[in-house]
Structure 1
Amino acid sequence: MTLDPNAVLAILAMAAATVLTRIGGLVLIRFVAIGPRQRRALEAIPSAVLMAVIAPTALVTGPAETLAALATALAATRLPLLAAVATGVIVVAVARALIGA
């Protein structure tokens, strides 16, 4: 196996962009006053990202996955992210057992 220098350079550039973006956000947020509306919006981001990643696959794979995606979306409005994910996993397991899909 050989390493392509261009691939290594691309990986390093993407890693640097990721690190700089995260550090930049942490540095810049110190200069921003966050009100209650902004705080709610920031707290909604993890759930929105989770649904954006899961929804396309869940809606085309079968009824158990679609039901689990719906349950996860509902749970994410009230529960922490880990609890919402656990809810989705449990619902898909139960739905597959009941539906047989």
Structure 2
Amino acid sequence: MSEVLRSDVMMAFAVMTAVTVASRLGGFWLMRYVDVTPRVRRMLDALPGSIIVAAALPVAVNGGPIVMFALAAAMAVSIVRRNDFIAVITGMTVAALARALGLGG
């Protein structure tokens, strides 16, 4: 079974890719003009966690008990291990296992 690539979808991917690359390059360019003080360094170190929270919060509000449990597990792992990647994997695994076991709604 072969799928036909739709030109509008491919154009959307190309535009999203270009915007992502431009955003990253623009950020690197702008940071040339910023003095990285200890305060700025703390802000930059907090960004990955802030982005994860911003992405997960709408899901948590609408996701029900499984999502809340998965997020709690991810937060616990993040606090104990201090590793955002392992925390995200933990949250996804807990949610997948709970759904596979038929828990929640």
- Counterpart of 2:47? 45
Question: What amino acid maps onto 2:53 in structure 1?
Answer: M
Query: What CA distance in whole angstroms lies between the structure 2 residues aligned with 1:91 and 1:27?
Result: 39
Distance apart, 1:82 and its partner CA: 0.6
- Counterpart of 1:18? 20
Structure having the larger proportion of residues in helix? 1
Query: What CA distance in whole angstroms lies between the structure 1 residues aligned with 2:86 and 2:28?
Result: 26
- Counterpart of 1:3? 7
Distance apart, 1:61 and its partner CA: 2.4
After TM superposition, the runs of 4+ consecutive aligned structure 1 residues lying more than 4 A away are 10-14
Percent identical among aligned pairs is 35
Q: Within 5 A, what are the aligned runs for 1:30-41?
A: 30-41=32-43
* CA deviation vs aligned residue, 1:44-89 (integer Å, no higher than 9, x gap): 2111211221222233222121022133245445622212212323
TM-score normalised per structure 1: 0.65
Question: What amino acid maps onto 1:83 in structure 2?
Answer: I
- Counterpart of 1:62? 64
Kindly indicate whether the alpha-carbon contact (under 8 Å) linking 1:55 and 1:69 is maintained by their aligned counterparts in 2.
no
Kindly indicate whether the alpha-carbon contact (under 8 Å) linking 1:58 and 1:65 is maintained by their aligned counterparts in 2.
yes
- Counterpart of 2:95? 92
TM-score normalised per structure 2: 0.64
Distance apart, 1:11 and its partner CA: 5.4
Q: Within 5 A, what are the aligned runs for 1:74-85?
A: 74-76=76-78, 79-85=82-88
CA RMSD of aligned residues (A): 3.2
Question: What amino acid maps onto 1:80 in structure 2?
Answer: N
